[in-house]
Structures are given as structure tokens and as C-alpha cells.
Structure 1
Amino acid sequence: MPLFERIKEIVKVVFVYDEEARVDLFALFPGIKRFYRHRHNLFYLRSFGDIAFTLIILLGLFGPQDPKCNVSLFLAWGVWWVSIVMSWFFLGKFWCGICPFPGVGRILQALGISLNREPPFFLTKHCTSFALIFFALIVWTESVTEMKEWPLGTALLLMSILLGASIMATLFRGQSWCRYLCPMGKIIGSAATLSMIELRPDLTKCRTCRTFPCKKGTESAAGCPVFLGAFNIKNNIDCLLCGRCLSLCDKDSPRLNLRNPFVELIINKGRHLTCSLIIPFLIGSQWARFIQHTGPYTVMEQWLFGSDALAFTLLLALGFGCAVQVIRFGSSLFTTSEDPLFGKFSPMVPVLVPLAFTGELAYRLDYFLANIGDVVPTLGRQFGFNFEYLSFSISAATIHWTALALMGIGTVSGNYVLYLFNTRDFAGLIPKKNYYGLHILVLLVSAIYVIMM
């Protein structure tokens, strides 16, 4: 197919909503499929990530503790975090497929240092709650300790996550940490429901399979690291996009599809516990983080005996509670939240996913844009060179307007999801006043962001 026709097909699928429309990127760009089939390519990517990750930790542990003289802070909180958030929309959970955290665990398992047990039932049942607690601890620690100014603290935080993943690998088979407990994995999985990319099986081919090597593996290769297998992939929440199923499947079933980014939000309707817990906490934590350095927060801190820890803890809890109530109220306006076949769902969750995505991107970009002009000079100070003449700055106004533009995109996207619901799955079910009320509710959520910024 000529390049122009490929681009035309891609643009149509991405920008015109159609639940059935997909572009198989493996068929359209065979080089992507070859890239996945040759497992050493993913190995090189993971190795690069492992090296960069190790460098950040070493610089944090043994480098200068003056934030103006240690580039590890920008690498961790600027480059690493912004890359993760940007990947949510464009690459789904691909970041999880090359993440450095399970690296040590994979080595330990390869050496036979693992009990290789099945994850217990209580872990699989309550994994989202555990991951939410871990993410809350990360956000709390990042904010209360001013970790973006503390190289040693940043290194210790990364090492603690690495330790958790490694311990899980010595107890349970595969990448149980990634599937069940990783807070980043749950956040990325929830946000990846907005992604333009999905890995899905060709079920007509899967039905002829009797050995399921994509999940169980073969004598020479392990199966899916998170116990799915291509035939089990129904959404973007758990699949790591690591491509291992592609190299194991002898039926050529896995497909890497390009789609309209709102498709999965409409199909799922917020029925997964992961999204219904993670998304309100992500929004509530963003509100707390945005307001932390404002005047009202200072007053609140004074009321709580001058304790930043107490003030932010209370703010984090209030933010989460308010977001949960907004979602419950919004879902009630849909007039229905249960289906005999589909089960219970929370339709306000997918409406707010775009705002959760753009809110996190705005927060992380604030640090990135405010500090990118000092990266090269910082590198020079750390290693004894004078690069001060390469310093530049991005104005606070530019950063602020960038954040507002992102929130505008999130607001428009949330309202568009509402429109799709009202004209499709909920056609004729939402009273007109409720429908307008839902749009107003989205605007109010967006206004909270703007005020707190």
C-alpha cells in the first residue's frame, strides 16, 4: 500500500469514532512485526533502560546532594516521569514491557532463586487496593519530602520499588509484581484505556489452538510474564505489550492495532475495579499536588501545627474523597449503572480519564519545562565543567498556559466521551437535564484544576 494511503487510513481510524475500525500495524508496517519477533530488540531496549536506571540510582546515592549539581533529579522526575505519562496515550503499556524494575527479579528467576509459587488468592483479589496504597505512599513521599530536590531520597525511592519487584520474583512465578502490586503498572494500565494502541488476538485463530504457548510457554521459552496469553487480552489494563506472545504463537494470532483512543473507554464504561479506584485517586492526588504550594495550603499547614506531612495527608484524603463523590454523583446522572450481562459499571470514570491523563501530564511537564534550561549547566557543575553559558529558561507564563491548554484538551475529550455515550450506549436513557448536568460537572472538575494551578 502506498505511503499516502497508509497515512489516510491511519488518520481515518484515529480521528473518526468507530468501535469496529482498526488498523493492523503489523500488516501495514511489517517492520514493526519483525522488530517484535526478534526478541533481542526488546532485550536491547530493556538493557538501555536498566543502564539508565542504574545510573540514576548511582548518581543519587553517591553524587552531590546539592540539587543544582546532580542531573539525576531531572532524569528521574523530568525525563522518566514525562516519558511514562506521554506513553499512556501513544503506546499503551509498552513502558511496562521495557520497565527496569523487574530486571533483577528476572535474573534471580533465571538463576533458580525463586520459590516459583502461584500468587495467593488474597493477593489477586485485593491487588488493586494494595497497589493504590503503594501509589499513595509514593505521591505522599514525593510531595512531603520535596524529593525532586533530594538526590539520595529519589535513589532510595527507586530502590524500594526495585526491592519490592525483586522480592516478589523470589516468591512467585513470572512478573507477579507487574501484574498485581506495581503502583505504576496500575496507573499506566488505567490510563492506557485511552491509548491509540492495543494488542489483541485474532480469536478465530485462537479457537484452533490446543497448547496455548502464548500463556504457558514452551520447553525453550517462558510464556506470558503476567499470565495472560494473547487469547485472554480484552483490554489495555494488564497487557505489557512486551510481544512475547507474538514470538510464541504458532497461529499468528496477535495483532497490534491502531484505534480511535476513545473506543475502550466507551466499551468498558468504567466497569473494572482498577480504573474505578485508580482514576479518582489520580485526580484527587493531582488536586492535592497542585494546591500544595499555594497560599491556602500554607494557611492549612499553620492550622495543623505547621506540619507539612499532616496537611498534605489531609489534602490527599480530601482530594480522593471528593473525586470519588464526583464520580458517584456523575454516574447516578446516567440513571443506570448495572446490566444483567455486563455487570456493574461506573460510566463517569471513562468520562474523567482524559482529565486524569492531561492533569498528570500538566503536573509533570511543569517540572520538566521549569528545569530543562538548567540541565546542561547542572551536568557541568556535577563533573567540573563550565556550561553556564548554555543555560536558558522558559517563562512561568508559558508553562502555565501550556498546562491550561492541556486541561482544555482533557475537558473537550471528557465532554466528547459524554456525547458518545449519549448518542450510542445510553441513547434515550439519560434525561436531557441530566445530560447537560454531566457536561457542567466535567466543566466544574476542569475548573478545579485551573483554580488550583
Structure 2
Amino acid sequence: MLELRADKDTCKTCKTRDCYKGNDKAPGCPMFEFPMAMENNANCNLCGSCIKSCPHDSIRLTPRIPTSEFWSMTRARFEESFLAIVIVGIVFVQNITMLDFYPSFLKSVEQTLGIANQDIAFTILFIFAMATPVLLLFAATAISKRFTGETLRNAFARFGYAVIPLDLASHMAHNLFHLLAEGKSIYYTFMGLFGVHLEGPTDFVSDPTIQIMQYFLVIAGTLGSLYTAYRIAKKNYGVSKALSVSMPYLVVILLFGILNFLTFTVRMGMRM
């Protein structure tokens, strides 16, 4: 929801490039980013050094519409999109492993594959979970490119960013359980360092309340990803083609959202 950007007109007249190199006010950019050329914050850690060192007060940290960066960028990177879609599978497996039925589910995977090793069975399951979203997005890209004429690689790179809101929301929903259902154990453990033994409930709020919050996060993430995919299509192919180009991606994203939503209908197990 925040972006760091520079006034390009001001930067064109700058001779020092202190924002990148640094000066006596602040060090150079630790991420080797040049604010004038930035169009996304993927490699910016918001340290603020460039803001302090800029002699022309050209750089600003301003609010923006969430997800807007994904449809406004002009240089989509295949490796970033590939990672984003792989994370869909990683987060899903992470959620599945916390559910009460997971041990019996993994056992059935072992029996189905004829493998008597739990680690190997999990590895196969993990690879399958990562590969499936990638294949689905490639399938959506193959269908969508009929309306665009773009190469499969370029189209995949452009739309892979659309799943990031859902990735983030699902991961937050997962850890929300640990924070709100197990959070008090941090205090108990900390006091134990001083020889004070404490016991009691570890939750801050009830399980049903946590589930409602998880549902809200997943729904918000799904809607954010759906909207992002549509806006990417609208920006690059125009209003007339936006829906037809984005429709295959919308279907795949909605499927991801439903699967993530369903995982949170089952109570997660404690890690303590």
C-alpha cells in the first residue's frame, strides 16, 4: 500500500546521483536500486536512505491502491511470476500439513504410491502441489493468448503477478491461527526462562472468531487477485479484450481461492 518513487523530471537534471551512491547524510542504496528507474518495489526494503541523501527532495514515500503495482509495471519478469505461482502450491501444502486429517492423508498417499517412507511421500506431494498451479496457469495462458497473439512466456510473466494477493492472504490466514490461538504461550515460555512456571489457555480469541478472520483474508486475497488479473488485461489489451483475455486466469485464480478457503473450514492443529 506504499510506494517509493522519484520525480523523474527532477532526477534528469541531477548530476550527483546521491540517492544511489550515498553521501554524508546517508549511505548508498543497499539494494542497488536507482529511484529514477524504479517502477516497482520488489527490490526495495524501504530503508529510506535515498530519501535522506537526495539533495533535491525528489523522492517520496506515498500511499497507493493495493495491487496497483502489478498492473502498472511495464517490465514483467518470468522468474518472479514463476515464483509467485509456485508459492500458491507451497502455501497450500503449508496449510494442509496443519490440519488434523493430514497424518492419515499422508498415509493414504504412501499406500497409493506404494511407498513405505513418509519423507519421500511428502516430497512427492510437495512437488505435485508446486507443479499443479504452474501447469494450470500455463494452460490458462495458452487459452488466453489466442486473443492476444503474445508468446506463452511473455503472457505467463505478465499474469503470474496476479496470484500474489492470494499468496499473501492465504499465508497470513495460516499464521493468524498461530498468533491468535497460540500467542499466549510466548509469554508462558518467556517467564519460564526466569524459573516462573505458568500454565493456562494459549488463545487470545475463540476458534470460530479466528476462522471468520481467516475467511475474510482469503476472500479479500482472492478478490484482489481476480481484480489484478482483470486490470493487467485491461491495461495491456484494452477494455474490449480485457474480459476475454483475463477469463482463463480468473477461473484458475477462483479455483485457487476456493481450495484455500476450504482448507480453513477444517480446524488447524497446534504446533506446541
1:320 correspondence with 2:126:
no
Pick aligned residue for 1:308 from 97, 118, 137: 118
Pick aligned residue for 2:49 from 235, 240, 244: 244
Q: Offset of 1:197 from its aligned partner? A: 0.3
Task: Provide the rounded CA distance (Å) in 2 between the counterparts of 1:423 and 1:214.
Answer: 34
Task: Provide the rounded CA distance (Å) in 2 between the counterparts of 1:287 and 1:264.
Answer: 25
Gaps of 5+ in 1: 1-195
Amino acid corresponding to residue 229 of structure 1 in structure 2: F
Task: Provide the rounded CA distance (Å) in 2 between the counterparts of 1:265 and 1:221.
Answer: 30
Q: Is the 8 A contact 2:68 2:228 kept in 1?
A: no
SS at match of 1:200: strand
Task: Provide the rounded CA distance (Å) in 1 between the counterparts of 2:236 and 2:129.
Answer: 30
Task: Provide the rounded CA distance (Å) in 2 between the counterparts of 1:221 and 1:382.
Answer: 39
Residue 376 to residue 358, structure 1, CA distance change in 2 (3 Å):
same
Task: Provide the rounded CA distance (Å) in 2 between the counterparts of 1:444 and 1:256.
Answer: 35
1:429 correspondence with 2:241:
yes
Number of aligned residues: 254
Q: Is the 8 A contact 1:304 1:311 kept in 2?
A: no
Deviation string, structure 1 residues 344-376 (Cα, Å, up to 9, x no partner) = 653432321211111111122222222113332
Q: Offset of 1:245 from its aligned partner? A: 1.0
1:366 correspondence with 2:177:
yes
Report 1:32-43 matches (<5 A): none
Pick aligned residue for 2:39 from 234, 248, 264: 234
1:296 correspondence with 2:109:
no
Deviation string, structure 1 residues 250-286 (Cα, Å, up to 9, x no partner) = 1111111111113211123781234212211211111
Amino acid corresponding to residue 365 of structure 1 in structure 2: L
Q: Which residue number corresponds to residue 270 of structure 2?
A: none
Task: Provide the rounded CA distance (Å) in 2 between the counterparts of 1:403 and 1:304.
Answer: 36
Calculate the TM-score normalised by the size of structure 2: 0.80
Amino acid corresponding to residue 50 of structure 2 in structure 1: C
Pick aligned residue for 2:84 from 279, 299, 306: 279
Q: Which residue number corresponds to residue 267 of structure 2?
A: none
Pick aligned residue for 2:253 from 434, 442, 450: 442
Q: Is the 8 A contact 2:226 2:250 kept in 1?
A: yes
Task: Provide the rounded CA distance (Å) in 2 between the counterparts of 1:337 and 1:257.
Answer: 36
Residue 219 to residue 367, structure 1, CA distance change in 2 (3 Å):
closer
Amino acid corresponding to residue 8 of structure 2 in structure 1: L
Task: Provide the rounded CA distance (Å) in 2 between the counterparts of 1:332 and 1:207.
Answer: 41
SS at match of 1:223: coil
SS at match of 2:215: helix
Residue 369 to residue 344, structure 1, CA distance change in 2 (3 Å):
same
Calculate the TM-score normalised by the size of structure 1: 0.50
Gaps of 5+ in 2: 265-272
Amino acid corresponding to residue 190 of structure 2 in structure 1: L
Deviation string, structure 1 residues 301-360 (Cα, Å, up to 9, x no partner) = 455645332222212211111111122122334323749xxx665343232121111111
